[in-house]
Chains A and B, each alone.
Chain A
Amino acid sequence: AQSVTQPDIHITVSEGASLELRCNYSYGATPYLFWYVQSPGQGLQLLLKYFSGDTLVQGIKGFEAEFKRSQSSFNLRKPSVHWSDAAEYFCAVGRPPPSNTGKLIFGQGTTLQVKP
């Protein structure tokens, strides 16, 4: 069965510091991979996604993620964190074709706190 693990429940970084949020998945083949962000009291917003090709994916708000097949990982990074990045971050996987059901499996989420 598919699963997604985000090992870090809570991370605190200083403003201006770099950030890496970890995501590991379990799936028989290469799934579609996503990172979402949820600000307090808000719905989820897509940051970036990976389907195939270049393993380094650029997203919105200065985020990027790297797919590493050998490690079954899709870690999210940002070179310099801003206070507005404080939020909860979710990694998710979806089945590639032919299983085009649009369903996603989410990780448990990582809460990011940014210190001034």
Chain B
Amino acid sequence: NAGVTQTPKFQVLKTGQSMTLQCAQDMNHNSMYWYRQDPGMGLRLIYYSASEGTTDKGEVPNGYNVSRLNKREFSLRLESAAPSQTSVYFCASSLGTGNRNTIYFGEGSWLTVV
């Protein structure tokens, strides 16, 4: 009954450090997403992967890279963390890319950059 699993749940980074947020889904979904959530701004799409082997930029991709490792896994990398990247990050997945497909979210990863 796992659904979408993200690791780590909490992380503190120093400015300039790098890190990777891991995400895996066990629902055999084709599409996966990374969102960030900031107070008063709702969720904003960073990157998405419509299917295995493809990735595309979302609304706020600068400072991030992604890898769709296989159908199950979609990682988000911060190469040189900045305080502006302090946020809560959500991985999500859906069966397909059409908006009729329900998007399922993970529980979030709290990242602080100092």
Residue of A nearest to B108 (CB): A43
B33-47 CB contact bits vs A (8 Å, 1 = yes)?
A: 100000011111100
Contact B105 A102 (CB under 8 A): no
Number of A-B contacts (CB under 8 A): 72
| A32 within 8 Å of B (CB atoms) | yes
Pick from A13-21, A63-71, A89-97 the stretch touching chain B.
A89-97
Residue of B nearest to A32 (CB): B99
Known contacts A42-B107, A43-B107, A46-B103; decide if A102 and B42 are in contact (CB<8 Å).
Answer: no
Contact A103 B107 (CB under 8 A): no
Contact A44 B90 (CB under 8 A): yes
| Interface size of B as a range | 20 to 34
Contact partners of A49 in chain B: CB under 8 A? 102
8 shortest interchain CB distances as A-B pairs:
A94-B99, A106-B42, A43-B105, A102-B97, A100-B98, A32-B99, A106-B43, A44-B105
Q: Which of A95, A106, A109 contacts B99 (CB 8 A)?
A: A95
Chain A nearest CB, measured from B58 CB (Å): 6
Residue of B nearest to A99 (CB): B99
Contact partners of A95 in chain B: CB under 8 A? 99
Q: Which of B40, B44, B90 contacts A43 (CB 8 A)?
A: B90
Contact A103 B45 (CB under 8 A): yes
Known contacts A43-B4, A44-B90; decide if A102 and B99 are in contact (CB<8 Å).
Answer: yes
